[in-house]
Amino acid sequence: MLLKYREVAFFILMMSLTACRVQSPPTYPGYSYGEFIYLSYSANERIDQLWVKKGDKVRKGQTLLTMEAFTTRNTLEISEKEYLAEKARLTDLISGERPAELAVIRAQLESALSEEELAKKQYTRLQKLYRTGVISADEWQKSAAGYRQKSARVEELKSRLDVGKLPARDALIESQQLQVESARLQRDKARWELQQSTLIAPQDALVFDTLYRPGERVIAGRPLISLLSPENVRVRFFIPEKELGALHTGMKVQLVCDGCKQSYAGRINYISPEAEYSPPVIYSTERREKLVYMAEAVPEKSAAALINIGQPYRVEIIPDE
């Protein structure tokens, strides 16, 4: 009977020793944080409407805020008119004179031809009279000069008509084409600036904070709204140097917090290559290491929306199988 008690006691002792050898998974202190998306405006302007509030969940493409756009809208109208004006000038240069202007030149040419014909007849008649001595040489020369003047006027109008039918010189057309392109770019810039006066959500996210209210004038480039999307939620923790070699990115983890109904699954997605001093927020009696390496774990997408930013967490490492 005594022998049986000894066997049972020995068995219990061996089981206890075996249990002592089973180590709990490595656990590291940390906290949750978010990589926020900050939306801003590129000019000093007043807020017209704020369409969301802190805590709202928004969808990609949803309107969040609109700025007063009086100046940008006027700039767009001016640039559009300048663009159309430059295009019209280019069309004129390519097509030559307008039909109405060519019609005026043709009418002037017809009148000049009639005057030339009359001057020619007058010149011929006076030439005969001069040869017979009826008129003086001065009268005949004056008639000849008038005839030459009328002929020169006809040639001038013919040249103007020919030139008017031609497009402008290549260099002039090329210069105007550059003016048109410059006006188009100014118009596109004005359109873009008007579009920027409406802030939209770049992706599905939570409105974490709104930093201004309608009617307030904002400073160019300063954040107006901060967004937090589920995929940007992280749990940051710190690894002692002597334990760094056992961990790598891609390892599975369990994220545990006090008061949470359940833990959340995740993976290590980043380990810093540089050591740093242990932050006071995670310094404890269990962890007295001075130099640690910061690491980040990404929770599963379904769990990310349940994690509160700034909450303390324990990161339990799941060893590779």
Residue 107 pLDDT class (50, 70, 90 cuts) = confident
Determine the pLDDT at residue 20: 46
SS3 labels along 87-133? HHHHHHHHHCCCHHHHHHHHHHHHHHHHHHHHHHHHHHHHHHHHHCC
Residues 173 and 237 in one domain: no
Determine the pLDDT at residue 2: 42
Q: Are 262 and 282 in contact (CB under 8 A)?
A: no
The pair of structure tokens assigned to 201 is 């959500």
Q: Which tens digits make up the pLDDT trace of 158-199? A: 777 776 665 556 777 888 889 999 999 999 999 998 999 999
Q: Domain limits at 250? A: 27-34+230-317
- 39 in any annotated domain: no
Using DSSP, state whether 3 is helix, strand or coil: helix
Give the end of a domain, one of 161, 187, 213: 187
Give the end of a domain, one of 128, 157, 187: 187
Give every strand in the sheet of 205-210, ordered side by side: 37-40, 223-228, 205-210, 57-58
- 127 in any annotated domain: yes
Tell me phi and psi for residue 258, to 5 degrees.
-70, 130
Residues 86 and 176 in one domain: yes
More confident residue, 127 or 76: 76
Determine the pLDDT at residue 61: 94
pTM for this structure? 0.62
Residues 6+ apart with CB under 8 A from 305: 206, 230, 233
- 274 in any annotated domain: yes
Residues 252 and 307 in one domain: yes
Residues 238 and 311 in one domain: yes
Q: Is the pLDDT of residue 201 over 50?
A: yes
Residues 177 and 91 in one domain: yes
Residues 181 and 248 in one domain: no
- 196 in any annotated domain: no
Q: Are 150 and 116 in contact (CB under 8 A)?
A: yes
The pair of structure tokens assigned to 117 is 């014909």
Determine the pLDDT at residue 282: 52
Residues 172 and 248 in one domain: no
More confident residue, 250 or 321: 250
Q: Is the pLDDT of residue 200 over 90?
A: yes
Residues 180 and 90 in one domain: yes
Amino acid at 178: L
Residues 174 and 87 in one domain: yes
Determine the pLDDT at residue 8: 40
Using DSSP, state whether 168 is helix, strand or coil: coil
Residue 21 pLDDT class (50, 70, 90 cuts) = very low
Candidates 308, 276, 299; CA nearest to 289 is: 276
CATH of the domain at 295: 2.40.30.170
Residues 6+ apart with CB under 8 A from 227: 36, 37, 38, 39, 58, 201, 202, 203, 205, 206, 207, 208
Give the end of a domain, one of 187, 210, 243: 187
State percent of the chain over pLDDT 90: 42
Which sign, positive or negative, has the C-alpha torsion 127, 132, 135, 137? Answer: positive
Residues 173 and 99 in one domain: yes
- 112 in any annotated domain: yes
Query: Taking the CA atoms of the chain, what radius of gyration do you get in angstroms?
Result: 45
Cα separation, 320 vs 240, whole angstroms: 19
Residue 17 pLDDT class (50, 70, 90 cuts) = very low
Determine the pLDDT at residue 96: 59
Comparing 61-65, 172-176, 245-249, 283-287, which segment has the lowest mean pLDDT?
283-287
Residues 83 and 168 in one domain: yes
Mean pLDDT of 50-71: 93
- 60 in any annotated domain: no
Determine the pLDDT at residue 290: 72
State percent of the chain over pLDDT 70: 84
Comparing 169-183, 202-216, 276-290, which segment has the lowest mean pLDDT?
276-290
Count structural domains, the chain.
2
Candidates 28, 24, 22, 23; CA nearest to 268 is: 28
Determine the pLDDT at residue 23: 60
Residues 182 and 264 in one domain: no
Residue 66 pLDDT class (50, 70, 90 cuts) = very high
- 61 in any annotated domain: no
Residue 97 pLDDT class (50, 70, 90 cuts) = low
Residue 288 pLDDT class (50, 70, 90 cuts) = low
- 72 in any annotated domain: no
Q: Are 180 and 90 in contact (CB under 8 A)?
A: yes
